[in-house]
Structure 1
Amino acid sequence: MHEDPAEGRPGHGDRFGRLGRPLHLNPFLIGLTGGLGLLVAYLIYQGLRNAGSMLVLIFIALFLAIGLTPAVARLRRWGLPHGLAVTVVTLSLLALLAGGVYALVPPLVGQSSQFITELPNYVEQLRRSETVNDLVVQYDLVERVKAAASQENVTRALGGVFGGARFVFGAIFNVLTVLVLTIYFMAAFDRLRDLGYGLVPASRRERVQLIGDAILAKVGAYMVGALAIALLAGLSTFVFAMIVGLAYPFALAVVVAICDLIPQIGATIGAVLISLAGFATDVPTGIACVVFFLIYQQLENYLIYPRVMRRSVEVNDVAAIVAALLGVALFGVIGALVAIPAVAAIQLVLREVVLPRQQLR
């Protein structure tokens, strides 16, 4: 004779007693379960918050890997093995980084060294100025300088110096981390993609794979198009800077190319920076910079950008502007960079999944 499992099993109830009925939920257990759920949610939130900076680096590396994968695929179609194709793309990326550092660091070091060298002359000129001496006496600047040179202020200034050094080394560490992660993601991209598709139920896997591959293709097309537009902007700026005689034309071209990678607002930022450099040279050069960038931005917005981007990404202009503004407000520069491919992915999902499902209801 078989007994009810809730009342016990033969051979076990005699030794340890009969099994009791399942516990019914009571207000205490409901509250305890809810409290444990809130505690677990809070711990997850704290973990994500503490690892937020590293998660951002991982996201950037994954985004770069997705954007660079088409280049790897193109080299593989040309007959290169997968490892060699990843190596070629990595070396090209390193060459771009080295070129940017070579363009930006020497001018900064040269200007700083020149300022330090000329600093005694500046001080001597100030001492000879009657106006400056009158201001020193009138506002008691000597005593103010002595007060500012107190031990507390010096300690605070040294803390700022060490903070700046920590920021520089932190930036170098972040760049190296993103670079290494990007290389790993590119090398294992096919396996990671197949693993992601393998988590989808088999009945929906084919459709998810088709939509996912289309999204990845749009991200890659956006990256290639953005790099092409940025390189063209940098090259145009370099030629213009050489014509008008701006100092450090290559460095200015790199600045414009980097700023141009930011959608919607990046080109304006680069134009303002170069125009300020032009006005620092002389007024006619500054006016020429303003005119040049006004003309070039019109060409880029209405001729270059539509031909390069809209055919590959297919994002509405209004949606692109709104996405860029929201991306900057929520995630800063990173949000602006991923705003347009994110909108392209959302549009694809809406068109292929949400709208057809709504039509069937």
Structure 2
Amino acid sequence: MRQKPNWAQIGIFLSLALFVLDWASDFLIPIVAAILGFLIMRPVERSMSKLGIPSAITAFLICAVAGAGLTFAAWNFSHPIAQLAEDLPNMINDLRRMPSAAAETLDKLGEAAKAAEDAVASAKDEPAMAVKVVESTNFVSSLIASAPVVLGQIVLTIVLMFFLISSGSSFVRKLVESLPRFSDKRAAVAMVQQVEQKLGQYLGGITLINLCLGIVIGAAMAAWGLPNPIMFAVIAFSLNFIPYIGAVFGALLASIVGFNVYDDAWTAILIFATYMALTSIEGQFVTPHVISNRLKLNPTVVFVAVAFFAWIWSVVGMVIAVPILITVKVILDQTSSTRSVGLFLGGEGAGGNYLRGDDPDS
């Protein structure tokens, strides 16, 4: 008789897993990022090994290029982006000048908030404004305060990725050898190969697409006369790794800057529409053509995954949510007992085509 699942144990395990993911986020984020980077770069390491280049040299070159790219981006774009973030609250406050019903609503909400604040202040000895001044924070100061943690995570990711890549196939071979049965070993090899293929296909394609999209959006923002269009190109390239939310946030950011430049609501709306139109063309036509339909994922599951990892791992979680989801789907598709869950994670029309020709049971 088939044993029924113990839902109490499952619930306890999920609760503990959620707690650990949140509690150990500073440690787990670079670990997960390094493993994903290792799986993506493993085909490169194998190709270089066939040419007689040692895995350690390949790992050093890959990590050096990654470190140099991050250093270049931080050196050239961190200051204008930080300055934009510093000025953003004032830009949002300037939206009150917008001659529309939305601005009137904001003013009414501001008056209601002021009245509520006065009512609370009159009932206390200490004025509410004093608390407001003490709790106000500066974005640049908070960014500088968090810089050591972020830098430590980046260094840990690159160093761990170096050790994983330099180990060549020995890391995967030891993982396979630890499994007891031959069928398990074969399934593990197939799983690793599928994860490498799908992650490389997704991230390689999406990086190329985002690069082109960033150039196009940068040119469009330059045509609108916004300051520092290269910065908007970098923002568009980075934010488009975040499904759904990234495009909307980038468009809002561009429209807010546009309103402060032109002091015209219609121009800001047109800038927003331009940004969204370009990202919509990319999402509806370019990405499905460049990236195979076998990589389709359930849009609802993608959105929930992005929201979940944003909740526990902030911005980095939103970026790596889809690669993690792809990895989980590949693992679930490798066994018959979990294949129905993997089918649910797939998008409409993907179905069994996700691993077409790669079913280990076929």
Q: Structure 1 length normalisation: TM-score?
A: 0.64
Match of 1:244 in 2: 224
Partner of 1:10: none
Q: Please tell me the root mean square deviation across aligned C-alpha atoms, in Å.
A: 4.1
Matched, 1:179 2:152: no
The residue number in structure 2 matching 1:299 is 281
Match of 1:28 in 2: none
1:221 aligns with 2:197: no
Q: 1:85 to 1:99 in 2, by over 3 A?
A: same
Among all aligned residue pairs of Structure 1 and Structure 2, give the percentage whose two residues are the same amino acid. Answer: 19
**1:33-52 C-alpha deviation (Å, 9 max, x unpaired):** xxxxxxxxxx9999987644
In structure 1, the partner of 2:70 is 97
C-alpha contact 2:58 2:166 (8 A) present in aligned 1: no
Alpha carbons 1:221, 1:312 under 8 Å: kept: no
Contact map agreement 1:103 1:254 (CA 8 A) in 2: no
SS at match of 2:243: coil
- Name the residue aligned to 2:239: 259
Residue aligning to 1:65: 38
Residue 292 of structure 1 aligns to a residue in which SS? Answer: helix
Shift of 1:179: 2.5
Between the two proteins, the alignment pairs up a number of residues equal to 285
| Counterparts of 1:156 and 1:339, CA distance in 2 | 33
- C-alpha distance in structure 1 between counterparts of 2:248 and 2:85, whole Å: 27
* Amino acid corresponding to residue 176 of structure 1 in structure 2: V
Residue number in structure 1 paired with 2:107: none
Structure 2 Cα separation of the partners of residues 157 and 113 of structure 1:
13
Q: Give the stretch that moved more between structures: 246-255 or 342-351.
A: 342-351
Give the distance between the partners of 2:238 and 2:309, measured in 1 at CA. 18
What is the alpha-carbon distance in structure 2 between the residues aligned to residue 113 and residue 46 of structure 1? 33
Residue by residue over 1:323-359, the C-alpha shift from the partner in whole angstroms, topping out at 9 and shown as x without a partner, is 334443454434433433344344444444125999x
Q: Contact 1:104–1:251 (CA<8 Å) still a contact in 2?
A: yes
Checking the alignment, whether the CA contact within 8 Å between 2:85 and 2:139 is kept in structure 1 is no
Q: How does 1:258-277 map to 2 (within 5 A)?
A: 258-277=238-257
Change in Cα spacing, 1:192 to 1:355, as seen in structure 2 (3 Å) is same
Structure 1 residues 200 and 234: alpha-carbon distance in aligned structure 2, compared to 1, 3 A threshold: same
Q: Which residue of 2 aligns with 1:7?
A: none
The residue that corresponds to 2:345 in the other structure is none
Give 1 or 2 for the bigger CA radius of gyration: 1
Larger RCO (CA under 8 A, 6+ residues apart): 2
Task: List runs of 5+ in structure 2 lacking aligned partners.
Answer: 1-15, 88-126, 341-360
Structure-2 change in CA distance of 1:308 and 1:70 (3 Å): farther
> What 5-or-longer segments of structure 1 have no aligned partner?
1-42, 115-146
SS in 2 for 1:354: coil
**Out of 127, 140, 146, which is 1:167 matched to?**
146
Shift of the 85–332 alpha-carbon distance from structure 1 to 2, 3 Å rule, reads same
For residues 212 and 51 of structure 1, do their structure 2 counterparts lie closer, same or farther at Cα, with a shift above 3 Å needed? same
TM-superposed deviation, 1:109: 7.7
